[in-house]
Structure 1
Amino acid sequence: MTAHRIATVLSLSLAAFILYLGISYLVAPEWIATGFGLPVWPTGEAAAFLNLKGVRDTVTGIVGLALLALGQRYALGVVLLGFALIPVGDMLTVLFHNGSTAAAFGIHGLTAVFVALTGVLLIRERAGADAAAQAA
């Protein structure tokens, strides 16, 4: 499998996963929130804050899919490097609020690495294409 295909599969997987999470936080926030890693979740009207995460995650997935569909692979790579900071922030939030260390590193930390790796693969495609064009 070529690096181009690997980057495409990883990008599609990330977009599908974050869309699933985003929609889940919008539709059933109390159900999906338990896996986030924090010890306590807001209830009642305060639970509306979980919808904020749903909107953020849904828009993140839509932006990723849009850039991929438009063939903007380099731009998607740059955006993914920025988006990798989101799970880093989530990881730090879980750690600083006495949440699960396993969830902080195992879910959010690994997600940050996965997103950043995908971004780097997409950016390297352009660098490889530029080098091949100069060699020709």
Structure 2
Amino acid sequence: MLHTIATGLAVLGAVGICYVGVSYLLAPQKTAAGFGLPAWPTGEAAAFLPVKGVRDLVFGLAVVALLVAGLPQAVGWLFLVGAITPLGDMLIVLRHKGSKALAYGMHGSTAVVVAVTGALLLLG
């Protein structure tokens, strides 16, 4: 049962982060507004925003690939290591005086859920 719940969380996480990644690729300025930082690059510097989209999309697709390959333990390790990304995002938002609500509520809680999912996959 634990394995099924953990796998379900991993699939939801993969779909969710793929959606975020595609959103950053298709509408980077609009999507970036919800990240929590007070300002985003504009003009030529805005070309940096899709970098986040690629990063997120690749993480989600890696999860899907490992699940399809039948490697839930590898997904567990990927999630444990991958929890550093939303933790880092939270710290970046806080350091740059962005929204504390989004820093803790979105990025911090995501880091916890990703880490717990990883641990559940390794235990299950």
Same fold, TM exceeding 0.5? Answer: yes
Query: Which is higher, the Rg of structure 1 or of structure 2?
Result: 1
Residue identity (%): 56
Offset from partner CA, 1:101-126 (integer Å, 9 cap, x none): 1100000000000000100000001x
Q: Which residue of 2 aligns with 1:70?
A: 69
Displacement, 1:45? Answer: 1.1
Root mean square deviation of aligned Cα? 0.6
- Taking the TM superposition and a 5 Å limit, the aligned residue runs for 1:84-123 are 84-123=83-122
TM-score norm. by structure 2 comes to: 0.98
Q: Which ranges of structure 2 fall in alignment gaps of 5 or more residues?
A: none
- Taking the TM superposition and a 5 Å limit, the aligned residue runs for 1:49-68 are 49-68=48-67
Q: Secondary structure at the match of 2:118?
A: helix
- Taking the TM superposition and a 5 Å limit, the aligned residue runs for 1:38-49 are 38-49=37-48
Aligned residues: 124
In 2, Cα distance between equivalents of 1:114 and 1:76: 14
Displacement, 1:44? Answer: 1.2
List structure 1 segments (4+ residues) > 2 angstroms apart after TM superposition.
Answer: none
TM-score norm. by structure 1 comes to: 0.90
In 1, Cα distance between equivalents of 2:43 and 2:9: 37
User: Taking CA–CA contacts closer than 8 Å with sequence separation of 6 or more, which of the two structures ends up with the larger relative contact order?
Assistant: 2
